């Protein structure tokens, strides 16, 4: 399996470390999960060779990120804000990006195949201004697929999409992840859960945890509990430690973080969202390597 090895990466803006000595092994369909300002976009821009780190190395097998031109040949990138001329048609946009990528032979066939893969073939004559948010995102992925890249980097691809489009887009990414690395960033836990096999939770430019969904969920096992309380009852725990509150008839089911068992509670089987909240809010500090 191809692995992108990131070692001791550091990047600062105005003297503040936005990426702080970060090391990570990226493989398969990989999700970067982190709150706003965690450094996800900066890390993705470094991987996409758009900005240079002050320190650290990146490698895919023998290929070092210092060989920028070679890296760009095997990389597709969908930036957070993908925008293009609104009056161009889908096929014209693809043709434009294909020329930029230096694709000369079989250009039309390649474009048709990619548009079919992202389910935009029937819409190829449509103008950009007539595409829905989901279609525009699929076109963004289509241009990233040109040149059959080994790595595709997608920054917050589901932001602003409705639920149906989000689900469809996540399914597409999963399909495209067969045989290549797909790195996607989001702060929507559910998108990562449905799309990715491997995950890293990042905050303040650091990796708080990395592993499979199951491995990450297990980090907080034994620290998450559920307790039913009536509406009249006072909160038995500090409100800031509540993960969720569900109303069941006249009662509430609290799901909460606690370092220890609270009388009348049940230990919950933990999930990725529990781990994300416990780690990013600093309730629990643990690294998985």
Ligand X SMILES: Nc1ncnc2c1ncn2[C@@H]1O[C@H](COP(=O)(O)OP(=O)(O)OP(=O)(O)O)[C@@H](O)[C@H]1O
38 binds ligand X (CB under 6 A): yes
Of the pair 32, 151, the CB lying nearest ligand X is at 32
39 binds ligand X (CB under 6 A): yes
Of the pair 133, 222, the CB lying nearest ligand X is at 133
Phi, psi dihedral angles at 98 (to 5 degrees): -65, -40
The answer to whether 82 and 136 are in contact (CB under 8 A) is: yes
Q: What is the DSSP string of 227-259?
A: EEEETTSPPSS-GGGEEEEEEETTEEEEEEE-S
For residues 272 and 289, give the distance between their C-alpha atoms in angstroms, rounded to a whole number: 17
Of the pair 42, 143, the CB lying nearest ligand X is at 42
Among 28, 31, 34, 140, binds ligand X (CB under 6 A): 34
Of the pair 152, 268, the CB lying nearest ligand X is at 152
Of the pair 210, 258, the CB lying nearest ligand X is at 210
Of the pair 128, 277, the CB lying nearest ligand X is at 277
Q: Which of residues 1-20 bind ligand X (CB under 6 A)?
A: 13-14, 18
For residues 222 and 271, give the distance between their C-alpha atoms in angstroms, rounded to a whole number: 12
- Output the CA torsion 153→159→161→162 (10° steps): 130
Beta bridge partners of 245: 254
Query: Which residues fall within 8 angstroms of residue 108, CB to CB, at 6 or more apart?
Result: none
Give the nearest distance from C-beta 34 to ligand X in angstroms.
5
Among the listed ranges 33-41, 208-216, 245-253, 255-263, the one in contact with ligand X (CB under 6 A) is 33-41
42 binds ligand X (CB under 6 A): yes
Q: What is the DSSP string of 69-135?
A: HHHHHTEEEE-SS----TTSBHHHHHHHHHHHTT--TTHHHHHHHHHHHTT-GGGTTSBGGG--HHH
Give the nearest distance from C-beta 284 to ligand X in angstroms.
21
40 binds ligand X (CB under 6 A): yes
147 binds ligand X (CB under 6 A): no
Residue numbers at the binding site for ligand X (CB under 6 A): 13-14, 18, 34, 36-42
């Amino acid at each position: 399996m191809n692995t992108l090895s990131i070692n001791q990466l550091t990047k600062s803006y105005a003297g503040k470390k936005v990426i702080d000595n970060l090391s990570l092994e990226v493989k398969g369909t990989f999700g970067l999960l982190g709150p706003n300002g965690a450094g996800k976009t900066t890390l993705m821009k470094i991987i996409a060779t758009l900005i240079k780190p002050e320190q650290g190395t990146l490698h895919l097998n023998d290929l070092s990120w210092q060989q920028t031109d070679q890296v760009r040949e095997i990389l597709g990138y969908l930036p957070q804000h993908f925008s293009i001329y609104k009056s161009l048609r889908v096929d014209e946009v693809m043709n434009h990006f294909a020329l930029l990528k230096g694709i000369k032979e079989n250009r039309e066939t390649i474009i048709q195949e990619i548009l079919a893969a992202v389910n935009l073939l029937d819409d190829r004559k449509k103008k950009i201004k007539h595409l829905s948010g989901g279609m525009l995102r699929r076109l963004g992925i289509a241009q990233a697929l040109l040149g059959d890249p080994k790595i595709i980097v997608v920054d917050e691809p589901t932001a602003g999409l409705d639920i149906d489009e989000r689900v469809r887009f996540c399914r597409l990414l999963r399909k495209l992840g067969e045989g290549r690395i797909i790195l996607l960033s989001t702060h929507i836990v559910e998108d990562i859960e449905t799309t990715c096999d491997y995950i890293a939770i990042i905050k303040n430019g650091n990796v708080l945890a990395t592993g499979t969904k199951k491995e990450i969920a297990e980090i907080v096992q034994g620290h998450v509990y559920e307790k039913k309380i009536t509406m009249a009852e006072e909160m038995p725990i500090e409100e800031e430690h509540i993960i969720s509150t569900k109303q069941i008839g006249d009662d509430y089911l609290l799901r909460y973080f606690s370092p220890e068992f609270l009388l009348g509670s049940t230990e919950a089987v933990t999930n990725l969202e529990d781990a994300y909240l416990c780690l990013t809010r600093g309730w629990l500090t643990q690294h998985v390597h």
